[in-house]
Structure 1
């Protein structure tokens, strides 16, 4: 007999918010700045750092490891904000025109620019808007290069306006990296770019799958040692990869309902994998 039913799945947004808790101070601060920066592009709601009046750095959200997804899908960091119109885009500091895209930093004066939500996560890293990301794209290298230009510590002595932009740009690049670097979060994100919303509360009702997941969870709880856990983890990663491949195929064929079904299954296996990681 299977043990009493446990909650097998939690919304992706809930796991994202566990790693991106925004302080009420930061939320209030950004609301107060909305009118002041109305001529700029919309702000990211997830700065990781800000600076107080004494020019001291304040941590405004957790920078803990990637739980599947800041997809800020808009509260999570999916780029769900409406694209803003671009007219005569220039550096707010020196008035120079952008030499490259995306325009996160001015090449002429090295000043950090306001967040532009019309730029999606793939564009930030110079990637094609497709699900598969090849290893030779060096996503991690590109991420680190952006942080060398955008990290708030680099502008701690600059005017308050640029410090705000740095916190927001840096947080958005972190979110973009975490989103694209994870197969599940990347799948949800690219569907959202296509206007397809994923109902994170929807569960799979197939008895066979639910029984399989419960048995796997029992195996994880009863695993006698590290090696046993690693074997289960290897099996979960294989299942995740198989469903990731199925998603890629469905997405390419614009079979979005089938793609959403793949995401639901990936979510179950991803959750089990997270539990294994906690026990290792």
Structure 2
């Protein structure tokens, strides 16, 4: 999947693979990766307030009203800041529902919209806002806020977003899953070693820039495969993204990379 450029370095090193324990010994190559192809809580018991997904009222199809006081709900969640009625969020609510991201968006989430929605939702359901409304309301708000935080972080990161979509399709990425392309395994290992042996911030910045280009290619591939419903290919590319993000994390931690495992 990737082509490497051989440098003039002639020394040989032992590259011990962090993918399935594979040991590789070969000349050091450059660290550029060039893509060949595009590659149960106490709760209040008001029986009339039940969250109905996507239920709207009035002329605006996106507007939702509180069943208790009739005030417009500012978010998609069962929490009304007007009368302070709050009910549990259904356990099967998807992360897209929670964050008010249309399900048909699939993988290509608008990150700016996601961040705006997160700020708006937390202004409404932050536990401190509900602390004076009784322990039941506070606990429900705290649980809801926690789920919102998780949904936000999951959808913001392309890797965890793809992993979530795979889980919805019944596919899991386990610790034993690794990159199957031997050449790519070698390239990833060389990149990691290049980070560990970098002598300046300039070297590290160069590595991160080239790795970012390859991450973009893989993300584009994931998007294409998600739209086409090719979930095995989505899983393969998502595993690649996992290791590439690991390289970027190591580079970001430089010069403490050796201790960042």
What TM-score does the superposition give when structure 1 sets the normalisation length? 0.65
**SS across alignment from 1:2:** strand
In 2, distance between residues paired with 1:226 and 1:104? 49
Aligned twin of 1:219: 194
Aligned twin of 1:105: 79
Aligned twin of 2:68: 96
In 1, distance between residues paired with 2:19 and 2:248? 12
In 2, distance between residues paired with 1:154 and 1:215? 50
Q: Please say if 1:133 is aligned against 2:144.
A: no
In 1, distance between residues paired with 2:152 and 2:127? 17
Aligned twin of 1:176: 151
In 1, distance between residues paired with 2:119 and 2:159? 22
Aligned twin of 1:149: 124
Q: Is the 8 A contact 2:125 2:144 kept in 1?
A: yes
Q: Is the 8 A contact 1:104 1:169 kept in 2?
A: no
In 2, distance between residues paired with 1:38 and 1:152? 15
Structure 2 gaps of 5+ residues are: 1-11, 21-39, 52-65, 256-261
Offset at residue 249 of structure 1 (A)? 0.8
Q: Is the 8 A contact 2:49 2:87 kept in 1?
A: no
Deviations 1:29-65, CA, capped at 9 Å, x for gaps = xxxx46x56989xxxxxxxxxxxxxxxxxxxxxxxxx
- The higher radius of gyration belongs to 2
Aligned twin of 1:262: 237
Offset at residue 228 of structure 1 (A)? 1.3
Offset at residue 200 of structure 1 (A)? 4.2
Deviations 1:172-194, CA, capped at 9 Å, x for gaps = 11111111111111111122223
Deviations 1:89-144, CA, capped at 9 Å, x for gaps = 538xx962885562331254133432222221112222222100235x52212111
Aligned twin of 1:167: 142
Structure 1 pair 95/138, CA: closer, same or farther in 2 (3 Å)? Answer: closer
CA RMSD of aligned residues (A): 2.9
What TM-score does the superposition give when structure 2 sets the normalisation length? 0.70
Q: Is the 8 A contact 2:178 2:239 kept in 1?
A: yes
- Could you tell which deviates more after superposition, 186-195 or 232-241? 186-195
In 1, distance between residues paired with 2:45 and 2:225? 40
Q: Is the 8 A contact 1:90 1:96 kept in 2?
A: no
Q: Please say if 1:3 is aligned against 2:44.
A: no
Aligned twin of 1:236: 211
Offset at residue 6 of structure 1 (A)? 5.1
Q: Please say if 1:118 is aligned against 2:78.
A: no
Matches within 5 A, 1:59-78: none
In 1, distance between residues paired with 2:80 and 2:236? 42
Aligned twin of 2:173: 198
Structure 1 gaps of 5+ residues are: 10-32, 41-86
